[in-house]
Amino acid sequence: MTHTISRPWKILWWSYFALVAITTVSSWFGIRSVSGALLAVFNGYALVGLWGYLRHVSIGWRKFWIVYFLLFAAYAIYSIGLFAAVAWQSHAAMYYYMAVGAVFLVTPQCLALWRYGFRSSSLWQAAQVAV
């Protein structure tokens, strides 16, 4: 993230981070299976990546975040596709709203993870020099 970003955008990004943090932590209370726990850990890493992006801090390895972004984007597309398929079959407006809401909630996360892995080369170069 560049240091020249305007204050309103910073406020929006940090508000989005708070929303994602609340939903991620609240999902941990509903874990009832091993797959649910694995999914909670997976989503927790997305929160760590978002924090690293917003703070302009390198966390771990750049290749990890590139692979993680690809997995996260694939998972997001799959999940939204499931909502869309259920909406198409049931013709219930609730599922259409859920699919649209999921797109609006996941898109900034995907954008931040993409920028963190692919567009923050100065951040990762500084991390390599520090090691």
Decide if 52 is inside a domain: yes
Decide if 44 is inside a domain: yes
Instruction: Mark the ranges of the chain whose per-residue pLDDT is less than 70.
Output: 1-5, 126-131
d(C-alpha 45, C-alpha 130), whole Å: 23
pLDDT at residue number 109: 94
Domains in the chain, number: 1
d(C-alpha 27, C-alpha 18), whole Å: 14
pLDDT at residue number 69: 96
d(C-alpha 55, C-alpha 106), whole Å: 20
**What is the pTM assigned to this prediction?**
0.82
By residue range, what is the domain housing residue 65? 7-130
Decide if 112 is inside a domain: yes
Decide if 2 is inside a domain: no
pLDDT at residue number 49: 94
Decide if 21 is inside a domain: yes
Q: Provide CB contacts within 8 A for 31, sequence distance 6+.
A: 37, 40
Neighbouring CB atoms inside 10 A of 7's CB total 7
